[in-house]
Structure 1
Amino acid sequence: MPLDLEEQEQLDQLKAFWQKYRNLITGVVTVALFAYAAYSGYQWWRNSQALDASKLYETMVSAIAKGDKDQTFRAADDLQKDFARTPYAPMSSLIAARIAADAGDSAKALDYLRWATKNASNDGYLALAKMRLVSQLIEQGSEKDFAEADQILKDKPVAGFEALWLERRGDWYLAQKKNAEAKVSYQDAWKKLDQAKEFPEEARRLLKVKLDAVGGIAQ
């Protein structure tokens, strides 16, 4: 069936449009396809990484149950090296740091905690790593350790963990026998903690003990 004049004109306009913009259109479509392929590939990689990381984490848990510290640390190290972008890596580093500290290896504990503070993408793990690192440094007690702890505490607190930041600042003061400054930090932490109902009661009891040690809660 022959085209009428109007249809023929529309067809000619479409051909002219395609002739003028076909390279641009083809390029946009190609970029979109590449972007989709890259996204799909990343999703597959991320899922694969998470699965492999979870298996290695299970190996670590099994080693902990057996009391095998060497295998525990190897698993934590491998998770750092091969699966740093998964949540299992900072989680395992926090656990390994605790095991190392309990075994009296403070240097290894500090290494695990420092790694977690630099690589944790989850806010909860990041805050926990920083607060644990500050506590470990305060326990070490050298001038260099206090300086490193001070630098961490000057960072902006992770949202939702402001009370813990203030409490650790109080610990930092108290370890240097600056009781008046420690009392102020503990009081500020108490006010914040009182507003954060999600924190366990144990956290409040511990802070109350610290406050009592420096003169109690301001009324």
Structure 2
Amino acid sequence: MAVYDLEEQEQLDELKTWWKQHGNRVTTLAVVVALAAVGWQGWNWWQRNQSAQASALYMGLEKAAGERDAKRARELAGELIDKFPRTAYAGMGALLSARVQMDGSDAKNAKLQLQWAAENSRDEALRDLARLRLVALLIDEKAYDEALKQLAVEPSPAFAPRYAELKGDALAAQGKPVEARAAYDAALSPLEKQPRRQGEAAALQEAYREMLQTKRDSLGGAK
């Protein structure tokens, strides 16, 4: 029994010595882990709360859009951008508000909304779409150099044909047929490589391809 007690005392002394050497680090690590867990839970709660508030604002924006209330739509989109810029609702709201502003013939505010979405939306597809709509507005205003500057940003593959098409439109309007034809060729190329679709999707794909080809052929030159 005495031997057992002695061995137990030796183990206890070893534990005390080890704790003196490493106890502070163990305690610090435990605190860091605990704080990380609390922080992660807090971050998740904060994100859910932000998303819920942004969702409520976006619903209000949709209502304003349905009522064609451009002023209210602009105010709500501005609030989304100011308070919740990191949520998907901010980009969506900017695009929706821009459409309402255009319907109300307010191209200036529409461009501001689209510019923000093109540069700051959290979603790549929303950024590409916002830039496309912005470029279309710039071409309508004959701001061709600014439109081409916007189109210098490389889009995701799904948007590449449309980007190239608008580049061709801007170049054609500037009286640059050679460069415009090259842009239309770039728009046509990925469409030729896509698998043939069925039904209505196939009809839409073919109609778009024919439209691009018509634009390209109208400039003359080799086919």
* TM tier relative to shorter chain: 0.7 to 0.9
Task: List aligned pairs for 1:42-191, cutoff 5 A.
Answer: 42-142=43-143, 146-191=144-189
1:17 — aligned with what? 18
CA–CA distance in structure 1, aligned partners of residues 163 and 179 of structure 2: 14
Kindly provide the CA deviation profile for residues 181-209 of structure 1, in whole angstroms up to 9, marking residues without a partner as x.
Answer: 22221122222134456996546534531
**Cα distance, 1:159 vs. partner?**
4.9
**1:149 counterpart letter in structure 2:** A
**Cα distance, 1:108 vs. partner?**
0.7
CA–CA distance in structure 2, aligned partners of residues 41 and 51 of structure 1: 15
Q: Is the 8 A contact 2:185 2:216 kept in 1?
A: no
**2:217 counterpart letter in structure 1:** G
Range 202-211 or range 67-76, more displaced? 202-211
**Cα distance, 1:128 vs. partner?**
0.6
Q: Is the 8 A contact 1:183 1:211 kept in 2?
A: no
Q: Is the 8 A contact 1:180 1:214 kept in 2?
A: no
**2:42 counterpart letter in structure 1:** G
Q: TM-score, normalised by structure 1?
A: 0.85
CA–CA distance in structure 1, aligned partners of residues 99 and 81 of structure 2: 16
Gaps of at least 5 residues in structure 2 are none
| Aligned sequence identity (%) | 32
**1:132 counterpart letter in structure 2:** R
**Cα distance, 1:14 vs. partner?**
2.4
Q: TM-score, normalised by structure 2?
A: 0.84
CA–CA distance in structure 1, aligned partners of residues 42 and 101 of structure 2: 38
Kindly provide the CA deviation profile for residues 122-172 of structure 1, in whole angstroms up to 9, marking residues without a partner as x.
Answer: 111111111111222122213xxx333223222232354333332222222
When residues 104 and 67 of structure 1 are mapped into structure 2, their CA distance, relative to the original with a 3 A threshold, is closer
When residues 35 and 61 of structure 1 are mapped into structure 2, their CA distance, relative to the original with a 3 A threshold, is same
**1:75 counterpart letter in structure 2:** L
Q: Is the 8 A contact 2:187 2:212 kept in 1?
A: no
Range 204-213 or range 58-67, more displaced? 204-213
Q: Number of residue pairs matched?
A: 215
When residues 198 and 43 of structure 1 are mapped into structure 2, their CA distance, relative to the original with a 3 A threshold, is farther
Q: Is the 8 A contact 2:128 2:159 kept in 1?
A: yes
Gaps of at least 5 residues in structure 1 are none
**1:108 counterpart letter in structure 2:** N
Two-structure CA RMSD over aligned residues (Å): 2.6
2:29 — aligned with what? 28
Q: Is the 8 A contact 2:188 2:212 kept in 1?
A: no
**2:214 counterpart letter in structure 1:** D
The 3-state SS of whatever aligns with 2:217 is: coil
